[in-house]
Amino acid sequence: MRDREAVEEAVEGTGIVQPPTAAPEFATTLPIRVLTLQRSVGNRSVNRILARDAWSDAVKYDKWMDAAKSLGDSKEKEVNDRLGQLNVGQLAALLGGTRDWGTNANYETVWDPKTNARIRDLIYAHRKKRTFVTFATGGKVSTGKLGSAIKRSNAAGMQIELYFLPAPDKVTASEIAFVQVVRRLKADGSVDRDKEQAYAADRTTSNGWQVDAYEADISGFYGMKGLTPSAITSPWYRSVPTVPAFMRDTAGITADGRFEAEAVPVQLSGKDEGKAYGSITWGMTKANGQVTTHTVGYKDTPSSDFKAAASAWNAQAANPAKRTSLDQQVLPTIK
């Protein structure tokens, strides 16, 4: 339906007078409308119109590989206009989309300089121009600024974006990314282990905290070297100092109870690996089927619970009998 509406709008915008047909009821079908427009403005114009509509749908529903592909035949100005609509988190997700687009059946990266590589390079160039982030006053820490944005919440859960923009002269890092720990509590406040996965049991602390990663995720850094589609992340790089570290989490909740999370930007590479740069706490409570999001909190240092969960991850990763895979990586010691 949206494709059809886009073509109809384009026909109206070009001042095209549609010819009568022997069967008027068929004149409103998409193929005839497209054919009419093709005859008047050409195939390339029609492709751009349909690509514009495909872009809008893909962004709306977080289908980032489709969004990246929809830019493939667009001119540079059109691509930049669309990139200008996105925040830093969406740009990171779109970069992931170009990666998926450029992966072949054997999971090997194959960049085509005329298609996905061109779009990727335009995204990189666009990210350098501005940060796309508004930081809360309460998110200021000694090494930079922490920020967050709750994108949506409903009875099924919530989606949140988190940011850290360091002051380059206050950190020694060349790369910073988030590590997140989570726990679930029942309505009575007890730790909810009813749906705990076997792979996570060995890295869950006594009060329910664990590093937020799935069985296929080999890194304790959120979304890094993992296979979780909803985990979207982008580190801070010293080479692009105005673009913050970013992560997006879409957390679900089924029964009444609480979901709690603590996310910490950690030096991934540099002179002081494992250095923590503040902490963001967030979560939600579900009662009588209704979800209430918690007030996001900012702290200068991570909690003891966070450090304990990171240590539990490392104990699992260092034990061949308990690690989730042979590739599970040890986190740097959190400082």
What pLDDT shows up at residue 266? 98
What pLDDT shows up at residue 317? 92
Residue 17, both tokens: 């007078």
Compare 74 and 249 and report the one with higher pLDDT.
Answer: 249
DSSP string, 128-177: TT-------GGGEETTEEEEEEEEEEETTEEEEEEEEEE-GGG--EEEEE
**Region of poorest pLDDT, from 17-21, 137-141, 222-226:** 17-21
Q: Is the pLDDT of residue 11 over 70?
A: no
Quick: pLDDT tens for 129-154. Answer: 655 566 777 899 999 999 998 988 99
Among positive and negative, which fits the CA dihedral 299, 305, 309, 312? positive
Strand-strand pairing, 245-252 and 297-299: unpaired
Quick: pLDDT tens for 44-97. Answer: 555 555 556 788 888 887 788 888 888 887 888 989 888 888 877 778 778 777
Compare 239 and 295 and report the one with higher pLDDT.
Answer: 295
Q: Is the pLDDT of residue 194 over 90?
A: no
If we measure between CA atoms, which residue out of 216, 174, 193, 173 comes closest to residue 324? 216
Quick: pLDDT tens for 206-222. Answer: 999 999 988 777 899 99
When pLDDT is averaged across residues 255-277 and rounded to a whole number, the result is 96
Q: Is the pTM of this model over 0.75?
A: no
C-alpha to C-alpha distance for 283 and 43, rounded to whole angstroms: 49
- Per the CB < 8 A criterion, the answer to whether 11 and 4 are in contact is no
Q: Is the pLDDT of residue 42 over 70?
A: no
Q: Is the pLDDT of residue 14 over 90?
A: no
Q: Is the pLDDT of residue 226 over 70?
A: no
Residues in the chain: 335
C-alpha to C-alpha distance for 163 and 263, rounded to whole angstroms: 10
**Region of poorest pLDDT, from 99-103, 118-122, 277-281, 298-302:** 99-103
The pLDDT-based confidence of 301 (bands split at 50, 70, 90) is: very high
- The three-class DSSP label of residue 282 is strand
Mean pLDDT of all residues in the chain? Answer: 81
What pLDDT shows up at residue 7? 35
When pLDDT is averaged across residues 323-329 and rounded to a whole number, the result is 82
If we measure between CA atoms, which residue out of 211, 203, 201, 159 comes closest to residue 181? 211
Q: Is the pLDDT of residue 189 over 60?
A: yes
